[in-house]
Amino acid sequence: MVELNESTRDEYMDYIIKAAMKNDIEQFRHLFLELHPADQADVFLHLEELERKRVYEFLSPEEFAEIFEGLEVDEQKNIALELNDHYAAEVFNNMYADDVADFLSELQQENVSDILKAMDDEDADDVRELLAYEEETAGAIMTKEFISIKAYDTVGDVIELLRQEGPDAETIYYLYVVDEKERLAGVTSIRDLITSISTEKIENIMSTRVVSVHEKTDQEEVAQLIQKYDFLAAPVVDDDNTLLGIVTVDDVLDVIEEEATEDLGEITAARGSTDVTLTSFQAAKKRAPWIIMLMFFGLVTAEVIGRFEETLETVVLLAAFIPMIMGSAGNTGTQSLAVSVRALATGSLEKRGLWKTIIREFSTGLMIGVMSGAVIALLLAIFYGDPLLGGIVGVSIVLSLGMASVIGTTIPLVINKLKLDPAIASGPFITTLNDLISLMIYFTVATSLIQYL
């Protein structure tokens, strides 16, 4: 297998393109198929339309299926339009059912039906089953291509089965044992197989207590489970413990990546738009509503400041510290938010308890507030020669930071507990809320002390 990197790819691609354009099918197949499918997909994406057409001619649907699986859904959509119907159907038949389902879940309903009708019945049924699951559940990300064996099989039987079916299964490292009703009864591994004699019965080497996940379990929980136990796969079962499929560790890698992107998107109100393949306009369309919505909150803040216009007119200098106080509250709240989001993502919250976390964050916020409040009060007293102004700003910072840390911690946790839309817990919303509260604290403190200024 040839490994490509940025520097070697271009040269290698030249050879491939030349072979394609000279219609040298043998040379093309030799060069192209020596690449790992992930690199084939990489090269393929760099081809022009005319060159891509040659790929469809020179590669069988089965060979092209591996490339197609390696593309992003947006890329798949464009490429699918270039394939003739029969070729496309064969490509889908040769893909893993979960990959087909991922692709179809992004299409219009009518296109989905057409594609499913063109596919082989058995393959189409698997895909339909996966499509029926709610997104981001174990059922939606599981693969149907797994090997199940029976407790009365011998090691020799199973090895023979692996010889035949191994190439089609997504993983052969764990072998799940089912009873006559397809209920999960045990698990064994290829490690156990090769250390046993071939006449040994599976029931004697299998472990009967299998860690499994329910079909409706959230994908993040599945990822945490696989990570906790260092598994390479986990079986997915229904209420009756019937084995429905397996989630493999490479799917979990994608889930963790996806959840990290989601978390970041939420914290930055850039949900669904951190993908660099979007055009400017697509990205702006997704992001502008957030910015405009947050701007309306900003108008509320403007309203609050307007109410204190009298105070401001008396001491215009007070305006100068608005950004600093708001900024500090915002930053502290965001730090607390990060703690909550990570705690939720890694499952460490359950280990530790909700209240303990909130109280810890509140004390942390207060401590940070006291430290920074003291520093700023001192600075203002010395450099502006105005200890009272220093006091006003300092006290406001202590109170604001204490509040901000509680808000930053609790909102995401409460949202999560109540199963509300987590977007409300996004960083900018929390920051905007903290802005508002810190401003009110600041002006209230200032107004009540202004007579002494």
Q: Binding to a copy of itself (CB under 8 A): which residues in 399-418?
A: 401
Residues within window 245-264 making contact with a copy of itself, judged by CB under 8 A? 249-250, 252-254, 256-257, 260-261, 263-264
Helix locations, 308-347, DSSP H? 309-314, 322-346
- Told to check if 431 binds a copy of itself by CB under 8 A, we report yes
Q: Minimal distance in Å, beta carbon 356 to a copy of itself?
A: 8
Among 73, 375, 378, 423, binds a copy of itself (CB under 8 A): 375
Q: Write out the DSSP string of 41-74.
A: HHHHHTS-HHHHHHHHHHS-HHHHHHHHHTS-HH
Among 267, 377, 399, 406, binds a copy of itself (CB under 8 A): 267
CA dihedral 402, 404, 405, 410 (to 10 degrees): 120
Among 8, 111, 363, 448, binds a copy of itself (CB under 8 A): 363
Residues within window 75-94 making contact with a copy of itself, judged by CB under 8 A? none
For a copy of itself, which stretch binds (CB under 8 A), given 20-28, 53-61, 121-129, 337-345?
337-345
Tokens 């059912």 found at: 97
The rounded distance, in Å, linking the Cα atoms of 47 and 217 is 40
Q: How would you label 75-103 residue by residue, b for 16+ Cβ within 10 Å and e otherwise?
A: ebeebbeebeeebbbbbbbbbbbbbbbbb
For a copy of itself, which stretch binds (CB under 8 A), given 47-55, 99-107, 235-243, 428-436?
428-436
Q: In the structure, how many helices (H) and strands (E) does the chain have?
A: 23, 6
Contact track, a copy of itself, 109-138, x by CB under 8 A: ------------------------------
Decide: helix, strand or coil at residue 230.
Answer: coil
Among 25, 205, 324, 414, binds a copy of itself (CB under 8 A): 324
Q: Which residues contact 98 (CB under 8 A, 6 or more apart)?
A: 130, 141, 142, 143, 144, 251
- Told to check if 378 binds a copy of itself by CB under 8 A, we report no
- Told to check if 423 binds a copy of itself by CB under 8 A, we report no
Q: Minimal distance in Å, beta carbon 6 to a copy of itself?
A: 7
Token digits of residue 269: 């109100």
- Told to check if 239 binds a copy of itself by CB under 8 A, we report no
Cα-based distances in Å from 218 to 183, 224, 255, 279: 21, 10, 11, 31
Closer residue to a copy of itself (CB): 228 or 417:
228
- Told to check if 381 binds a copy of itself by CB under 8 A, we report no
Residue pair 170/146 in contact (Cβ under 8 Å)? The answer is yes
Nearest residue to 291 (alpha-carbon basis) of 274, 323, 269: 269
Residues within window 159-188 making contact with a copy of itself, judged by CB under 8 A? 159, 162-163, 166, 172-173
- Told to check if 346 binds a copy of itself by CB under 8 A, we report yes
